[in-house]
C-alpha cells in the first residue's frame, strides 16, 4: 500500500514538473514573438531615426567626441576631413602669427626697396655728374683745340664794368681756362675789342646756372656789335690771336 502511494506521488511530481516546463516554454515562445513583433521594430526604428545604423557608422566611418554639444550627428565632406588630417587647416593663433610674419616680411621688403630706390637716385646723380664732367671735358678739349671760347653777352650799364668782360665762373670751361684780370680779345663778325676779364657768378633767368654767359658794358657792347645797345648776342673770346680774322678797334 505504501509503495503504491509513493508511485502516485512521484507521477504527480513528474506531471507537475512537465506541465511547468511546458508552460515556461510556451511563455518563452510568446515573449520572443512579442519582442520580435513589437519591441525589435521599435528599437530599429529609433536607431534609424537617430542615424545609429547608417552604413558609414557600421563600417567605422565616423568621428567621435566627448563634448555633449556634438552628440547630434551631422555630415562632413570627406575632402575636408582629409584636408584636416593633412594639416590644411590652421588655428587662430597660427593664422595671427602667419599674418604677423607676412607683415614683418612686407616691412623688410619695403625697407629694402626704399634703400634700393635711394641708391638708384644716388646712382642717377652720380651718372649725371659723370656725364656733365664728360661733356665739360669734351668741350674744354674743343675750346683748347680751336683757341676760342663762345659766350653769350648781355648789356651792362654799370660803370665798373666799362672795359671789362664779366664771365660766369659757374661754367666749367670758363673756370678752367679764363684768368681773372687777364687781357683778352673779343670778336664778333670780324670786329674785335680788347678787354680785361673778371670772373664771377653771372645769372640770367633764361639760362642754366652753369651757362657760358657774361656781361659787357654798354659802350663796349655798342662798339663790338656794330651799334647794338640791347638784347644778348654771341661773341668769341680769342685764346689764340689771329690777325687775319680780327680787326681790333
Tens-digit pLDDT profile for residues 84-124: 666 666 677 888 888 889 999 999 999 999 999 999 889 88
Residues 181-202, mean pLDDT to the nearest whole number: 92
Return all residues near 241 (Cβ < 8 A) that are at least 6 apart: 185
Which grid cell is 58?
A: 557600421
- Range among 14-28, 86-100, 197-211 rated most confident: 197-211
Least confident of 47-51, 181-185, 219-223: 47-51
What pLDDT does 88 receive?
A: 67
User: Could you tell me the pLDDT band of residue 79, with boundaries at 50, 70 and 90?
Assistant: confident
User: Could you tell me the pLDDT band of residue 175, with boundaries at 50, 70 and 90?
Assistant: very high
217/126 Cα distance (integer angstroms): 39
What pLDDT does 221 receive?
A: 92
Parallel, antiparallel or unpaired: strands 164-168 and 213-217:
antiparallel
Share of the chain above pLDDT 90, in %: 35
What pLDDT does 239 receive?
A: 87
What pLDDT does 212 receive?
A: 93
Return all residues near 125 (Cβ < 8 A) that are at least 6 apart: none
Q: Is 174:208 a contact under the CB 8 Å cutoff?
A: no
183/195 Cα distance (integer angstroms): 6
Which residues, in sequence order, are bridge partners of residue 154?
215, 232
- Return the SS3 of 148: strand
225/247 Cα distance (integer angstroms): 13
Residues 181-205, mean pLDDT to the nearest whole number: 92
96/93 Cα distance (integer angstroms): 5
Neighbours of 151 (CB within 10 A): 23
Short-list 248, 245, 213, 210, CA closest to 232: 213
User: Could you tell me the pLDDT band of residue 70, with boundaries at 50, 70 and 90?
Assistant: low
Residues 176-187, mean pLDDT to the nearest whole number: 92
Amino acid at each position: 500500500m505504501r509503495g503504491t502511494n509513493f508511485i502516485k506521488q512521484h507521477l504527480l511530481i513528474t506531471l507537475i514538473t512537465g506541465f511547468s516546463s511546458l508552460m515556461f516554454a510556451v511563455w518563452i515562445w510568446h515573449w520572443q514573438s512579442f519582442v520580435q513583433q513589437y519591441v525589435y521594430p521599435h528599437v530599429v526604428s529609433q536607431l534609424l531615426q537617430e542615424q545609429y545604423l547608417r552604413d558609414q557608422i557600421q563600417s567605422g566611418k565616423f568621428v567621435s567626441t566627448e563634448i555633449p554639444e556634438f552628440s547630434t550627428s551631422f555630415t562632413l565632406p570627406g575632402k575636408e576631413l582629409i584636408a584636416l588630417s593633412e594639416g590644411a587647416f590652421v588655428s587662430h593663433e597660427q593664422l595671427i602669427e602667419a599674418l604677423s610674419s607676412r607683415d614683418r616680411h612686407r616691412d623688410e621688403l619695403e625697407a629694402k626697396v626704399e634703400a634700393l630706390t635711394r641708391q638708384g637716385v644716388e646712382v642717377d646723380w652720380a651718372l649725371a655728374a659723370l656725364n656733365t664732367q664728360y661733356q665739360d671735358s669734351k668741350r674744354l678739349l674743343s675750346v683748347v683745340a680751336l683757341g676760342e671760347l663762345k659766350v653769350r653777352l648781355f648789356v651792362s650799364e654799370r660803370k665798373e664794368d666799362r672795359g671789362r668782360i664779366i664771365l660766369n665762373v659757374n661754367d666749367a670751361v670758363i673756370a678752367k681756362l679764363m684768368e681773372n684780370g687777364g687781357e683778352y680779345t673779343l670778336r664778333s663778325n670780324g670786329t674785335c675789342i680788347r678787354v680785361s676779364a673778371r670772373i664771377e657768378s653771372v645769372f640770367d633767368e633764361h639760362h642754366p646756372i652753369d651757362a657760358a654767359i657774361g656781361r659787357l658794358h654798354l659802350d663796349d657792347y655798342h662798339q663790338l656789335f656794330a651799334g647794338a645797345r640791347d638784347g644778348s648776342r654771341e661773341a668769341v673770346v680769342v685764346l689764340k690771336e689771329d690777325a687775319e680774322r680780327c680787326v681790333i678797334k
